[in-house]
Amino acid sequence: MCYSKKFLVNIILILLSLPNSWAQKKEVQKPNIILIYADDMGRGMLGTYGQNMLTTPNIDKLASEGLQFERAYGAMYCAPARASLLTGMHDCHGGDAMTIVKAGIYKELDNGLTLDEIKAKIHEVALPAEKDEVFLGEIAQKAGYTTGQFGKLEWGFATTPERMERHGWDHHFGYYDHLRCHGFYPPFLFEDGKKVDIPGNTHVDCAKTTEYDSPENFKNRWNMEGKAVYSEHIIMNKMLGFMDANHPKKTDKPFFLYFPTQLPHGPTMVPEVHPELQNNPNLTQWEKEYASMVKMLDDDVGRIYAKLEEMGILDNTIIVFTSDNGHEIYYPEKGRTSKNNVNVKGEEFDNITTRFNSRVAGDIFDGNDGMSGKKRDNWEGGVRVPLFWYWKNKIKAGTVSEQMVSNYDFLNTLAEIVGTPQRKEKDGISYAKTLFGGKPKLRNYTVYSSKMGPALVTQEGWKLRYYLKEDIFQLYYLPDDYGEVNDLAKGHPEKTEKLKAILFKECSENWENGIGPIQKKV
């Protein structure tokens, strides 16, 4: 059979064009991924866990139509949780790898220090990452994703644009200082390293309020002078704009979007009480305001979902919802709800036989879902978090997993999903196979630090808790003891000693203080 020269040339040209076209198509087919990282969101605040003082239909939808992890762990509070999430390492490590810069330096901006001077001060104490260190954003970047981060700063209590870029973010908008995150009307935020002034917001402290209720405090909260733009609103608008600008059809690239919202971290502050809560006779004014922060976040999850539908990419987008740590009380009222380490009567917990729970603290929301402890504690209520994975028609709807996973597993899970090699030097391991009905490799235990001391939980459900103040170890079997009431250490000495050895090994770099990452003052 004989072919003309022109025919053969055309065939060759067609064949040469196929690999490139196929590669582009394959790249687009990788799922977009959105990680919504709530702040201080206890599981009990969500309808899927039985909350009946407010509804959270949009977050609940991710749980009911996706996969819900019942044994998901965050960290004791904000900064260690983010360090673990972004490095894939647990927060019991000490040394330079987990150094956290203390907050407050950015209040000096335009008050004597320039941005360059502030960055230099932060870089003096926050050592640069090693050349071979890999962060969460980089995992997506190396897989061909456009990456964006919107909201609360992603590392420690003070950061810089150089650190944000090093951690793998192509685009970022939000706060650079944790102290300023505690107010919701910032006079400025940052976008890709540049200061963005917000007209109408005039409070240097971002209009932070005080965590006690009084007529004066109520008046201050609702005095709207100098409070033109609520931070969540402008951050959401910027993020939705990023989605438009980086539509996969425009860029031929999927996007990885990290949304570390401020909500519902206190102090309590909202521009209005949510209509659903205005006439709830069971809640005080302050409780209505706090619940409105939860409602706002739920509404914004609904806006993200609707945006994906509008863009026509919902079917090829993974949405993950989780939180950094357990519940916290931002609405204490004398004789009704207590805060910190005391019950409603003002009696101090010894954190051995008595401890925080919703009943003794008078928490009408039961924000820690019936567990002992809250934020900063090494009881389960301080570190167990909601975790839902949603991918329409790809992740089986209504699935509940009892597999124990941690926030530091997310990095390698992302790596497996986007098709990059697992990072064996990390503490976390991928649970991607669980998402799609496969059999995953299980990590034998998880460890985490706290202000009280470190703790360890095994995949089987054994928990060893160290209480630094009294130098004691307690042992619990969580499948039979959800509230951590029955200390089994004396009855199981061999199990206790075995888990102690593991805990010492994992936390040896930082055992003496037991509180996780070291904070350095700028």
- The secondary element (H helix, E strand) that includes residue 433 is helix 432-435
Could you read off the pLDDT tens digit of each residue along the chain, which spans 522 residues?
454 555 444 544 444 444 333 233 344 489 999 999 999 999 999 999 999 999 999 999 999 999 999 999 999 998 889 989 999 999 998 655 566 677 888 888 867 889 999 899 888 887 667 888 999 999 999 999 999 999 998 777 888 999 899 999 999 999 999 889 999 999 999 999 999 999 999 999 999 988 778 888 899 999 999 999 999 999 999 999 999 999 999 999 999 999 999 999 999 999 999 999 999 999 999 999 999 999 999 999 999 999 999 999 999 999 999 999 999 999 999 999 999 999 999 999 999 999 999 999 999 999 999 999 999 999 999 999 999 999 999 999 999 999 999 999 999 999 999 999 999 999 999 999 999 999 988 999 999 999 899 999 999 999 999 999 999 999 999 999 999 999 999 999 999 999 999 999 998 776 655 555 556 666
How far apart, in whole angstroms, are the C-alpha atoms of residue 70 and residue 67? 10
Is position 476 within any domain?
A: no
> β-strands 399-406, 387-390: how paired?
unpaired
Instruction: Give the model's pLDDT for residue 123.
Output: 86
Is position 314 within any domain?
A: yes
Q: What is the CATH number of the domain that holds 235?
A: 3.40.720.10
Is position 88 within any domain?
A: yes
What backbone phi and psi angles, to 5 degrees, belong to 191?
-130, 115
Number of domains present in the structure of the chain: 1
How far apart, in whole angstroms, are the C-alpha atoms of residue 286 and residue 212? 10
Q: At what angle do helices 285-311 and 231-245 cross, to 10 degrees?
A: 10
| Per-residue model confidence as pLDDT tens digits over 70-124 | 999 999 998 889 989 999 999 998 655 566 677 888 888 867 889 999 899 888 8
The dihedral of CA 277, 283, 289, 293: what is its sign? negative
Q: Which residue, 455, 453, 376, 448, is CA-closest to 406?
A: 448
Kindly list the distances between the CA atom of residue 347 and the CA atoms of 327, 335, 340, 343, 344, in Å, as whole numbers in the listed order.
20, 12, 11, 5, 7
Q: Which residue, 261, 452, 197, is CA-closest to 349?
A: 452
Range of the domain at 65: 29-444
- The secondary element (H helix, E strand) that includes residue 402 is strand 399-406
Is position 498 within any domain?
A: no
- The secondary element (H helix, E strand) that includes residue 456 is strand 455-458
* Residue recorded with tokens 């609702």: 222
| CB crowding 430-449: b at 16 or more within 10 Å, else e | bbbebbeeeebeebebbbbb
Indicate the SS3 state at residue 339: coil
Is position 189 within any domain?
A: yes
How far apart, in whole angstroms, are the C-alpha atoms of residue 489 and residue 119? 48
394-397 contacts, C-beta under 8 A, 24 or more apart? 394/31, 394/318, 394/436, 395/66, 395/67, 395/318, 395/435, 395/436, 396/67, 396/437, 397/64, 397/65, 397/66
- The secondary element (H helix, E strand) that includes residue 68 is strand 67-73
Instruction: Give the model's pLDDT for residue 104.
Output: 84
